[in-house]
Structure 1
Amino acid sequence: MSACAQNPAPNGDAPRQGQPAAATNKASAEATKAGAAVAPAADPSLLRFDAKSVKLDDAAQAQLQQLLEPARGAKQIVITGYCDRKEIGNAKGAAIARANAVKSALVKQGVAAKKIRVKYTTDEPLHAAKVDFTS
């Protein structure tokens, strides 16, 4: 049975011997900031889009379902649309459209539109929309 404990984690994220798990998590977060590929559901509030799309795909729609309960209970919701201006000509328009697509989907599910604010950024190499809640 001790052999199982020596097998590395399937995703290779096991902390190195003597390295605290927090250090591994910090390194993972820094890799994410640098634009490294991560699992799509690593952050359930970050809905990824295809680089040339402003529509929620099936995976993002399913992910959005996880956000409905916190969205309904939140006092305010801020949705930030992201689009990499180095890749897309009208990055501002795409970023805003992504944020509005998420807003529309939440409103269709019963979240009050008046508590949702939309903003955008084109400064990061990311094609997504981020949903933040305040209680």
Structure 2
Amino acid sequence: MKKSEIVLACSAVFFAGILTGCTDLPTQPATTASATSWLKAPEAPVVALGKPYMLKFEKMSAKLTPQQEEILTALAPQLKDAKLIILRGYCSKRDIGNAKDSALARAINVEKFLVTQGIVDQKMSLRYNTDDAEHAVELEIGG
């Protein structure tokens, strides 16, 4: 047997073994996707007391999206019961020249929205972070 025939035979056995192994995997039934299957109803986020919750922002934006507003609306009952809410705006100083202002603008926009949801603004403390490579607002809820 020539060397090329041996390599070809070994390759065929190898690939046959791989394909045989794939037949043991469970298959899922085929489903048809509807035109709106990519839309999912927002789920109420689970936030433990004292744990931070992050709202991600686009790099050049401080405006709340409708999805973020829905999340904050769902969190409102838990936030009303909290004694302290720390809103820490994040903006990377490596990405944005006025990172401090952008970080605070994000936190302020979240604070303004929460006030419209009935959260007392005296409970909220604004902070900022420009060192981390984040574009977000972190909500830390204190008992």
Query: Same fold judged by TM-score > 0.5?
Result: yes
1:67 and 1:42 map into 2 onto residues whose CA distance is 7
- CA deviation digits over 1:73-128, x for unaligned, max 9? 00011000000111111000000000011000000110001110000000111100
2:131 and 2:46 map into 1 onto residues whose CA distance is 20
What secondary structure sits across from 1:102 in the alignment? helix
In the alignment, is residue 60 of structure 1 matched against residue 72 of structure 2?
Answer: no
Unaligned ranges ≥5, structure 1: 1-5, 8-40
- Closer, same or farther: CA 89–96 of 1 in aligned 2, 3 Å: same
Task: Give the corresponding residue for 1:124.
Answer: 132
Counterparts of residues 79-118 of structure 1 (less than 5 Å): 79-118=87-126
1:66 Cα deviation (Å)?
A: 2.2
Greater displacement, 89-98 / 54-63 = 54-63
In the alignment, is residue 76 of structure 1 matched against residue 55 of structure 2?
Answer: no
What secondary structure sits across from 2:71 in the alignment? helix
What secondary structure sits across from 1:53 in the alignment? coil
Task: Give the corresponding residue for 1:50.
Answer: 58
State the number of aligned residues: 97
1:131 and 1:90 map into 2 onto residues whose CA distance is 22
1:42 Cα deviation (Å)?
A: 8.4
Counterparts of residues 3-42 of structure 1 (less than 5 Å): none
TM-score (norm 1): 0.67
1:112 and 1:104 map into 2 onto residues whose CA distance is 10
TM-score (norm 2): 0.63
- Closer, same or farther: CA 42–101 of 1 in aligned 2, 3 Å: same
Dislocated runs of 4+, deviation >4 Å: 41-44
Q: How much is the aligned-residue C-alpha RMSD, in angstroms?
A: 1.9
Question: Is 2:45–2:71's contact at 8 Å kept on the other side of the alignment?
Answer: no
- Closer, same or farther: CA 42–68 of 1 in aligned 2, 3 Å: closer
Report which of the two structures shows the higher radius of gyration computed on alpha carbons. Answer: 2
